[in-house]
Amino acid sequence: MLERPMLSFATGDGVSLRFQVDDFTNPWEQSETLILIHAAMGSSRRMHLWVPHLARDVRVVRPDMRGHGQSMIGPDDTLDLERLTLDVVELMDHLGIDSAHLAGSSAGGAVAMNTAITFPDRVKSLGAFATLPGLKVSAGHTQYGSWVDRIGSDGIAGFLRKTIADRFDVEAVDPDFIDWFIAESARNDPESLRRFVPMMAAVDISGRLGDIHCPTLCVVPGSDPIHTPEQYALLKDGIADCRFVTYDAKGHNITDAFPDRCAQDLVSFLRDIRR
């Protein structure tokens, strides 16, 4: 992957938030913006393969969430859903845009959802991939405490290597991709993840799904060992304007294992709502 210097801006509480911009829209036209928010233990680099499908239609902005990638934080910096939501809005302010399309993977999708709930005038549409409205609604949310312990004892790479079958069909994906995925995740700061995981495990915004009024695309895996179909159905039942798509027999990390399919579904959705 070609490394490019990341852009940055200072958030309201003084954190340097890093992000990438990819824009291949017509330069004589005013383009809309799509902000892609990666999953926990990820970074903007994990959304890299989405860009060729999207950046001809919209300007694509890929931030590293605070505590991930190059958006480093200290032990005294705030790390909660409200602050992650403000980071998205302040990024829009920095870019000089009133509103944007948002799409996120897993925990990044929960941040996108909360932004649509809290700042409805700033969100044109919402894409949620393998996302629940907070991990507290997951029947297995108590397991996330053990994730923290295992990250501490095994390291990020060791933890993911041992649990990789929860995320991918390892017989169906390229072993080199698995190695890249684990190495990429291991670039993150373990101490920040030890704060991030239990924080997200306590989040439950399912009671506010009715406050999402923008067009919404929900893409969910059909064979997710982490979340159940009934838990994903909360989105279909709770969001009024929801296009609900299931990838049959796919594991949790659909955004990594099937980036082309996910991005193409998002492109189709965006084109439909912009007609």
| Low-confidence stretches of the chain (pLDDT beneath 50) | 141
Give the strands of the sheet with 59-63, arranged side by side. Answer: 7-10, 16-22, 59-63, 33-37, 100-105, 123-129, 216-221, 242-247
Residues 6+ apart with CB under 8 A from 237: none
Q: Identify whether 2 is part of a domain.
A: no
pLDDT at 144: 60
Range of the domain at 65: 7-273
Q: Identify whether 1 is part of a domain.
A: no
Q: Identify whether 41 is part of a domain.
A: yes
pLDDT at 152: 80
Q: Which two tokens stand for residue 208?
A: 């506010």
* pTM across the whole model: 0.95
Q: What is the DSSP string of 50-106?
A: GHHHHTTTSEEEEEPPTTBTTB---TTS--SHHHHHHHHHHHHHHHT-S-EEEEEET
Counting the structural domains of the chain, the total is 1
Q: Identify whether 133 is part of a domain.
A: yes
We report the CATH number of the domain holding residue 86 as: 3.40.50.1820
Q: Identify whether 97 is part of a domain.
A: yes
pLDDT at 160: 93
Q: Identify whether 219 is part of a domain.
A: yes
